[in-house]
Structures are given as structure tokens and as C-alpha cells.
Structure 1
Amino acid sequence: MKKTNGRWLVVVLLFVATTINYMDRAILGIAGPSMMKDLSLSAVEFGILGSAFFWSYALMQIPVGVIVDKLGARLTYSIAIVWWSLCTVFTGMGRSLGGLIGIRVLMGIGEAPAFPTNTRVISDWLPSHERGIANGIFNSGTAIGIGITTPILAWIIQAWGWQASFVVIGSIGFVWLAFWLFFFKNHPEQSKIANEAEVAYIKEEQTQTEKAKTLNFSPFKFFKFRSVYPMLYGLFAHNYLTYLMMTWLPTYLVVEREMTLLKAGFFTMLPWIMSFLGNILGGVLSDFLIKRGWNSIKARKTVLTIGMLFPLAIIPTIYTDSAIMALTYISIAIGGEGLAAGILWATVSDVAPKGAEGKLAGLQNFVGNLAGWIAPVATGILIAKFNNFNIALIIPVVICLIAAVGYTFVLKNERISINTDIDGGTKVSGL
């Protein structure tokens, strides 16, 4: 019997969901110049508004990881996308800083399950040697959501106002939900889109460790493992760069580089197109190394290290007077860092014990999204203090270089093992 390819339809669903997820959170940055003018917001106030989403988003990651492992991906994602889509629509109705902050905090709760759920789905539906490209595909939705839709959103804002853009984008999630409920089941053997041959292929390629029963333990137990620390910090570094650019890049082009909003909307696409390509390439490259016989974690961390060196390209932006050259340097930095972004979550699937992917993904996403608390606000403060973006742009370069060092020298080339003993305690290895 020839095997079906239902697992790749699932990956496409995750890609579209991730695209919608980032469209809904990134639209604030695109609407920023109009909102600041209409609502009389200072740079610091807008930075606080940009950060508000991440206050709840980060804090929810620990309980969400447990919820995903308990409830399953199908139900968790369904509730999440309805929640965050409604919050996006309501953002367009906000007229005060306090009201908008409240809506963004609620939206952070709704979006919190997305990446832990994606990680669990990839682990359940893909064999190890295909997870790199699968993670690269779904994670490339971040670049599409932030960048490719920018000109459309800029046009909507100019034609109908910033409020209309939130209503339009917030409505898309309900369309995706219909496809999710129709096609997706928590496990391939439960689904009509995967035949017996495909299910056998997926199961055969999963290791015996992955087939072990789900273990119940606190996500904080992962802090006992050395390998966890570069993973947590690595996502923090990636997110700091991403959230800074997501919140401030359109404003940077309008204010610092004196572009019109529509022109800035068009040019903002370029770094995220590069990021999209980097995400895919990072997944392909790491899977290629695994097929050549590399240890899967060694393959992932090699690509992660290379990707985290590319933000060095940001440094020349502070020395050029050309808006196009500045955007070129930023595009190289974000595109190259996309190599790492594409496999950040594949690494979780390789390192975490089977049944605990949601817990480790939730912990990683909690620490990683603390960057969302810091980057938008710190950038606003630095802009107000120095009246330019120079220092704000250098900070993510340093942060990403430290991440490269951590991946190289701290992340071990072996899976974490947590074995439940007969008394309900745990025995740990891979420290």
C-alpha cells in the first residue's frame, strides 16, 4: 500500500495558523504611526502597549504546556484561535491606552497555546528526520504573518483607518478553524487523511524513547538539565530581535528613514521574505545533516549557532545614510537568523522525552517571550533618550552572539531522559 502524505497537510495547517497568529500580533506595529497620532501616544507609551501582549503570553506558557499535553492539540488550538481572533477584532474598538492594554493582555492568553501545540503536533505526526523541515515550514509563518501582509494592511489603514485593519485580520482565524476541525485529529491513526502505510511509516521512524508513555512531572524539573539553558536563552535571543523589529521596524522606516507609511509597508516585507527563506533553509539543512548520519541534536545546534551569528549584519545600519542599505543590512540579519528560527522548535522535539514536548515547549516559550516584556519598552525608552535607534539596534546583536556561544558549548548531543519510578518519583539522566 502506497503511503499517503496527510502529515504534510497537518504541517500546512500549522503554517497557516502561525501566519494568522503573527498577523494578529504584528498588526500593532504596522498601525503604530497612525495609532500614536490618533491617540496621542508617546514612544514610551506605545512601547508599553507593544509589550502588554507578552505580559500574559509569557506567564501562560508553563500552564499551557501542561494543558496541551492533557487536552490534546485539536481542542486546545480550537479554543485558542477563537479567543485571540476576538481580541484582535476588539483591539480595533479601543480608544484609550488602558483599554488597549487590557485587550492586548487578554490576547496574550489566547495566543499562548500556539507554539507548544505546534511542537506537540509535529512530534506526534512527523518522524524525527522530517521534523526540521516541518518546523521550518510552520515557523516560516511568523515571517509571512509579520511581513508579507504588511502592504495590504498599510493600504487598509490608509483607506479605512487603523481600526478597520484589526477587524479584517481578526476575522481570518474563524475560517482556519473550520479546516482544522474537519481535517485534524490528535494522532495520525485517528485521522482519515493518513492511511495505514503512512501511520506505520511515522511510528517506525520514531525512537523507542519517543514511544514511551506520557510522564507526569513539573515542567520546572527541566531546570536540572544543562541542555535546557541554551534552548531557553536561544528563543529569548530570537524573540528579542523579532519583537523589536515587529513592533518598531515600520516606525523606524517612517520616522528615522522618512518613508511614507505605504512605502514603509512595502519595504517592511523584504526582511521577512528573507526570514521565510531562512526558516525553510534551516530546516532543510538540519534534516540533511541528520540523513548524512549526524546526531540530530548536533545537526540542529550547528545550524542554530550559524543563524545566531547573522545579526552582526545590523551593525552597519547605524553608519549608513541610505534607507535602502539600512534595510538591506536588516534583511540579511533577519534572514540569516531565520536559519535558527526554523529549528528552534524541532530541537525541543529532539531533546524532550516523548509526552513532555508540551511541557518543555511551554517552558522555552515562557522564558523566550520575556523578551516581549523588554524589547518593545526598552526600545521606546532608548529612542526617547537618544532620539535615534542606534543603541536599540545594537542590543539584539549582542544578545544573539551570546546565544551562539551557548548552543556551541552548553547544549549536549543527547536526549533528556526522565523515568518514573514505582513510587511515582522520577529518576533523571542527561544532566
Structure 2
Amino acid sequence: MKKTNGRWIIVILLFFATTINYMDRAIIGVAGPSMMEDLSLSAVEFGILGSAFFWSYALMQVPVGVIVDKLGARLTYAVAIVWWSLCTIFIAFGRSIGTLIGIRILMGIGEAPAFPTNTRVISDWLPTRERGIANGIFNSGTAIGIGLTTPLIAWVIENWGWKASFIGIGSIGFIWLLFWLHYFRNHPHQSAIANEAEVEYIEAGKIDTNQKTTKMASPFQFLKYKSAWGLLFGLFAHNYLTYLMMTWLPTYLVVERKMTLLKAGFFTMLPWIMSFIGNILGGYLSDSLIKKQWNSIKARKTILAIGMLFPLAIIPTIYIENATMAIILLSIAIGGEGLAAGILWATVSDVAPKGAEGKLAGLQNFVGNLAGWIAPALTGFLVYQFQNFTWALMIPAMICCLASFGYAFLVKNERISIKTDVDRNIV
């Protein structure tokens, strides 16, 4: 029997979900100049508004990881996308900073399940040797959602106002939901799009298929392991850079580089096009190393360590007056870091004990998204305090450099083995 390729339909669904997820997050960055003018918001207030989403988003990551493992991905994602899409639409009707902050906090709760759910789906639906490219594909949706849609959003804002952009983008999630409910089931053997041959192929390609399922009382047990610390800080660094650029790059080009909003929208595309390519390339390279008999974790962390060095290219932009050259350097930084972004979540699937993927993904996303509390607000404060973006751009470059060393020296080339009380008694 010739095997089907239903697993790639699922990966494409995750790609579009991630794209919608980041469009809904990133639209506030494009609408920023118009919102600040219309609602009389200062740079500090806008920075706080950008951070508000992450207050709840980060705090929800640990419980969400547990929820995904218990309720399954199908129901979790369906509820999540309805929730966050409605919140995106409601932003159009907010008139005060307090109301907008409240909506953004609620939106953070709705978007919280996305990446832990993606990780669980990839773990259930893909063999180990295909997870890198699969993660690269779905994670490239972040670049599409942030960057390639920016000119369209800017055009909508210039022609119909910032409110129309939130209503239009927020409505897209309901279309995706129809496809998700039609095609997706929690396990390949439950789905009509994967035949018996494909199910056997997926199961045979999973490393440690016979490993005993780990039962954990708390995701915080992972804090005892150096590998987990490398993963946690790595996502923090990645998110700091991503959320800073997502919230402030269009405003940076308008304020610091004196571009019109529409021109800034087009220039914003280039770094995220490079990130899209980097995501796919990082997944492909790590999978290629695994096919050459590299240990899967060693293959992933090698690409992660290399990718996280590219943000150092941000530093020269501080001293360059030419706007085009600054965009090129930013594109090298964000595109190169995309090599790491594409396999951040594949590495969780390899490092986590079987049955605890959602818990480690949730903990990683909790720590990683603390960067969302800090990056937008701190950037607003630094811009207000120094009247330029110098320190705001220096910080993510240094943090990403530290993350590179974390991946190289903290993450071990073996799956974490959680010792339960029963195991300790046997020993």
C-alpha cells in the first residue's frame, strides 16, 4: 500500500495558524503611529500596550502545556483561535489605554495554546527525521504574519484607518477553523487523511518509541536540568528580538529613518522574507544532519548556536546613516536568526521525555515570553529617555549571543530522563 502524505496537510494547517497568530499580534506595530496620534499615546504608553499581551500570554504557558496534553490539540486549538480572533476585532472599538490594555491581556490568554499545541501535533504526526523541516515550515508563519502582510495592513490603514485593519485581520481565523475541524484529529490513526501505511511510517520513524511515558507532577521539574535551561533562555533571546522588531520596527523606520508608513511597510518586508527563508533552511539543515547519522539533538543545537550569532549584525546599524544599508543589516540579523527559529520547537520534541512534550513546551514558552513583558516596554522607555534607538537595538544582539553559548554548552545530546519516586526506590 502506497502511503499517503496527510501529515504535510497538518503541517500546512499549522503554518497558516501561526501566520494568523502573528498577524493578529503584529498588526499593532503597523498601526502604532496611527494609534498613537489618534489616541494621544506617548512612546511609553504604546510600549506598555505592546507588552500587555505578554503579561497573560507568558503566565498561561505552564497551565496551557498541561491542558494540551490532557484535552488534545483539536479542541484546544479550536477554542484558542476563536478567542484570540474576537479579541483582535474588539481592539478596533477600544478608545482608552485602559480598555486596550484589558483587551490585549485577554488576547494573550487566547493565543497562549498555539505553540505548545504545535509542538504536540508535530510530535504526534511526524517522524523524528522530518520534524526539523516541519517545524521550520510552521514557524516560518511568524515571518509571514509579521512581515509580508505589513504593506497590506499599512495600505488598509492609510485608506480606511487603523480600526478597519483590526476587524479585517481578526476575521481570518474563523476561516482557518473550518479547515482545522474538517482535517485534523489528535492522532494519525484517527484521521481519514492518513492511511495505514503512513501511520506505520510515522510510528516507525519516532526515536524512543518504546520509551516509557513520563508522568510529571509539575513542568517546573525541568528546572533541575541544564538542557532545559539552555532551551528556556534560547527562546527568551529569540522572542526578545522578535517582539522588539514586531512592535517597533515600522515605528523605528518612520521615526528614526524618516519614512512614510507605506514605505516603512514595504521595507519591513525584507527582514521577514529573510526570516522565512532562514526558518525553512534551518529545518532542512538539521534534518540533513540527522539523515547523516548525527544525534538529533546535536544536529539541532548546532544550527541553533550558529543562528543565534547572526543578530550581532544589528550593532553596525546603530552607526550607519544610510537607511537602505541599515535594512540590509537588519535583514541579515533576523534572517540568520531564522535558522534557529525554525527548529526551536523541534528541539523540544527531541529533548522532552515521551508524554511530557506539552509540559516542556509550555514551560519554554512561559520563560521565553517573559521577553514580551520586557522588550516592547523597555524599548519605549529607552527611546523616550535617549531620543534614539541605540540601546534598544544593542540589547537583543547581546542576548542572542549569550543564547548561542547556552545552546552549545548547556543542552546535552540526550533526551531528559525524569526520575520518578518509583525509579529512585528501584535504584
Q: Structure 1 length normalisation: TM-score? A: 0.97
| Distance (Å, rounded) in 1 between the aligned partners of 2:223 and 2:424 | 14
Contact 2:68–2:117 at 8 Å: present in 1 too?
yes
Deviations 1:275-327 (A, max 9, x none): 00000000000000000011000000000000000001111111111111111
1:105-144 to 2 correspondences below 5 Å: 105-144=105-144
Residue of structure 1 in register with 2:305 after alignment: 305
Q: Which amino acid aligns with 2:33?
A: P
Does the 8 Å contact 1:209/1:353 carry over to 2?
no
Query: Do 1:210 and 1:353's aligned partners in 2 also have CA atoms closer than 8 Å?
Result: no
- Aligned partners of 2:322 and 2:163: how far apart in 1? 32
Cα pair 1:56 1:109 within 8 Å, conserved: yes
What amino acid is aligned across from residue 199 of structure 1 in structure 2? V
CA–CA separation in structure 1 for the residues paired with 2:142 and 2:162: 21
The structural deviation recorded for 1:68 is 0.2
Distance 2:133 2:424 in 1: 33
What percent identity do the matched residue pairs reach? Answer: 77
Q: For residues 324 and 103 of structure 1, what CA distance do their matches in structure 2 show?
A: 36
Structure 1, unaligned runs of 5 or more: none
Question: Is structure 2 residue 235 aligned with structure 1 residue 235?
Answer: yes
The aligned counterpart of 1:157 is: 157
One-letter code aligned to 1:363:
L
1:20 matched to which residue of 2? 20
Give the secondary-structure state (helix, strand or coil) at the position aligned to 1:417: coil
**d(CA) in 2 for partners of 1:284, 1:138:** 13
Q: CA deviation at 1:224?
A: 1.2
The 5-angstrom pairing of residues 403-414 of structure 1 reads 403-414=403-414
Shift of 1:234: 0.2
Letter of the 1:239 partner, please give it.
N
How many residue pairs align between the two structures? 427
Look up the SS of the partner of 2:412 in the other structure. coil
Q: Give the residue type in structure 2 aligned to 1:372.
A: G
Residue 58 of structure 2: aligned partner: 58
Deviation at 1:210, TM superposition (A): 6.1
Structure 2 CA distance for aligned equivalents of residues 339 and 64 of structure 1 = 27
Q: CA deviation at 1:206?
A: 1.2
Q: Deviations over 1:34-82 (max 9, x none)?
A: 0000000000000000000000000000000000000000000000000
Q: Is the 8 A contact 1:419 1:428 kept in 2?
A: no
- Correspondences of 1:210-229 after superposition (within 5 Å): 212-213=212-213, 215-229=215-229
In structure 2, the CA distance between the partners of 1:28 and 1:73, relative to structure 1 (3 Å rule), is same
* Structure 2 residue aligned with 1:32: 32
Report the counterpart of residue 364 of structure 1 in structure 2: 364
Question: What corresponds to 1:340 in structure 2?
Answer: 340
Give CA deviations for 1:196-249 in whole Å, capped at 9, x if unaligned: 000000011113356533524210111111110010000000000000000000
Instruction: Give CA-to-partner distance per residue, 1:380-420, whole Å, 9 cap, x none.
Output: 01001111001110000110010011111111000012254
Distance 1:210 1:248, change over 3 A: farther
Q: Which amino acid in 2 is paired with 1:68? A: V
Per-residue deviation, residues 149-203 of structure 1 (Å, max 9, x unmatched): 0000000000100000000000000000000000000000000000000000001
**Counterpart code for 2:152:** I
Tell whether 2:364 aligns with 1:396. Answer: no
CA distance in 2, matches of 1:82, 1:427: 47
1:268 pairs with 2:274: no
Contact 1:304/1:344 (<8 A) preserved: yes
One-letter amino acid matched to 2:325: M
RMSD: 1.4
In structure 2, do the counterparts of structure 1 residues 92 and 191 end up closer, same or farther at CA, with 3 Å as the change threshold? same
User: Matches of 1:71 and 1:210 in 2, distance apart?
Assistant: 23
- Which amino acid is the alignment partner of residue 26 of structure 1? A
Structure 2 residue aligned with 1:177: 177
* Amino acid across the alignment from 2:55: W
Q: Tell me, yes or no, if the aligned pair for 1:11 and 1:138 is still in contact at 8 Å.
A: yes
Counting only pairs closer than 5 Å after superposition, residues 181-260 of structure 1 correspond to structure 2 as 181-209=181-209, 212-213=212-213, 215-260=215-260
- 1:4-61 Cα offsets, whole Å, 9 max, x none, are 0000000000000000000000000000000000000000000000000000000000
Return the letter of the residue paired with 1:85: S
Q: Tell whether the 8 Å contact from 1:5 to 1:198 is kept in structure 2 after alignment.
A: yes
- Mapped to 2, the partners of 1:95 and 1:344 lie a distance apart of 38
Distance 1:12 1:367 in 2: 27
Distance between the aligned counterparts of 2:3 and 2:98, measured in 1?
54
Structure 1 SS opposite 2:32? helix
User: For residues 280 and 93 of structure 2, what CA distance do their matches in structure 1 show?
Assistant: 37
Instruction: Select between 385-394 and 102-111 the one with higher mean Cα deviation.
Output: 385-394
Distance 2:188 2:160 in 1: 44
Which residue pairs with 1:43 in the alignment? 43
Contact 2:213 2:353 in 1 (8 A): no
